[in-house]
Amino acid sequence: MKELTKKVIILNNFSSPYVSQAIVVLKDYNPKLESKAIADAEAIVGRYIEKMQKNRQPVRTARKRKRLAKIIVCLAISIILCAVIKYII
């Protein structure tokens, strides 16, 4: 019968405002490779933290800002075209 117990590693003590705890579920547990698994998990979380610090804002906020900028540009173009048409006529 297959073993149903999962082996997990819980990582705490991150110096990040984004991550407080990481839980890693291992496929196969080998006590000799435990330090390697922990190092891999810390590297993954570290890359995530770097990515979040690089972006500094969630994706949705960036999309909303781009959308708002497009609306403002369209309104400005409309106002300029109306002024030009009124000046010509």
pLDDT in tens, 63-77: 777 888 899 999 999
Q: Is 15 helix (H, G, I), strand (E, B) or coil?
A: coil
| Most confident of the following: 19-23, 64-68, 77-81 | 77-81
Please tell me the pTM assigned to this model.
0.48
Taking alpha carbons only, the member of 5, 45, 39 closest to residue 25 is: 5
